Amino acid sequence: MLKYKHPASYNQQLLNALDKLVPDTGVILDFFGGVGKVGALARAGRIIIAGEIEKKWANQSVDNGCDFVVIADATRSPFKSNSIDAVVVSPSYGNRLADVDKSQRRRKKRKSDYTRRTYRSYYGKDLHINNSGNNMQWVRGPRGKAYRLLHFRAWLEAARLLKVGGLLIINCKDHIRNGKWMHVCDWHWSMVERIGFEQRIRLEIPTTGDQNQNRHKQQGKRVVAYEQIAVYKKVSNLIPHERYLIHHAEAEVLDYI
Ligand SMILES: C[S@@+](CC[C@H](N)C(=O)[O-])C[C@H]1O[C@@H](n2cnc3c(N)ncnc32)[C@H](O)[C@@H]1O
């Protein structure tokens, strides 16, 4: 099968960490599934499902070890409420990987075209309008609002899907924009807690092998040298009303940006 590259799939360090955090048995869903690297967590007793909005990426999930794959929007999953034991996800980080600039839309004439590492350039065609990698970024204004609303809805969807006692395990990373540290992870943790999840664990996983990062460091630029993983537990079925939550999510964003 033709392979379509993905610019942000889980690396082995993250998979090792996630393997220790997910339950030994039950249904595990990654609804921002990419090429389904979550399939590396497959063991007897675990059923692994990948959901992904882009078909060409989703189609690689079974080859990567997933038991099932759905092509679906993470904010509108086709699964029943209270049916999943763990949601394990890595959302897009709101960084420049989500750029969609004109130069990347050119047809590939030379090898140097399409060289920037972005979701759009790796996918090779326009992304779904509700893809968070489609120009949704950690900025003020409409693109930032789109990023926050989409992820907020995704965390609400996780709350709906999970059984009481189920785990929401999120991998995310802060980044530097115009020399300033963007506290994207803290925003996600704060929204998940507002929905009613309780945090159990938070880990930092060093990203020493990242070539871009090492190059930036050599150039004297600030870098964020670790990924984060947070584990949350769904402690009850009481989920506040979406409209109330979204109002607060937008009001609070100013503390993080
Ligand atoms: C950070 S990547 C995750 C990659 C994945 N962990 C892997 O190992 O391949 C985020 C993924 O979420 C997908 N995505 C973005 N918005 C989505 C949405 N609304 N619903 C479902 N998937 C979405 C993107 O296409 C991208 O593949």
Say yes or no: CB of residue 152 within 6 Å of ligand 1.
no
8 lines ligand 1 (CB under 6 A): yes
Among protein residues, the one whose CA lies closest to atom 13 of ligand 1:
32
What whole-number distance in Å separates Cα of residue 46 and Cα of residue 114? Answer: 38
CATH number of 12-255: 3.40.50.150
**Helix 184-195 with 242-252: angle, nearest 10 deg:** 150
Cα 5 to Cα 120: distance, rounded to the nearest angstrom? 11
Cα(151) to ligand 1 centroid in Å equals: 11
Which residue is closest in CA terms to ligand 1's atom 27?
Answer: 34
Index of the ligand 1 atom closest to the CA of residue 127: 25
| pLDDT tens sequence for the chain (257 residues) | 557 899 999 999 999 999 999 999 999 999 999 999 999 999 999 999 999 999 999 999 999 999 999 999 999 999 999 999 999 999 999 999 999 875 555 555 555 455 688 999 899 889 999 999 999 999 988 899 899 999 999 999 999 999 999 999 999 999 999 999 999 999 999 999 989 999 999 999 999 877 778 888 888 888 999 999 999 999 998 777 776 677 666 666 655 55
| 53, 148, 172: residue to mutate for ligand 1 pocket, most atoms within 8 A of CB | 53
Distance between CA atoms of residues 147 and 145, nearest Å? 5
pTM for this model (two decimals): 0.92
CA 255 to ligand 1 center in whole angstroms: 26
Q: Which amino acid is at 117?
A: R
The residue contributing the CA closest to ligand 1 atom 8 is 9
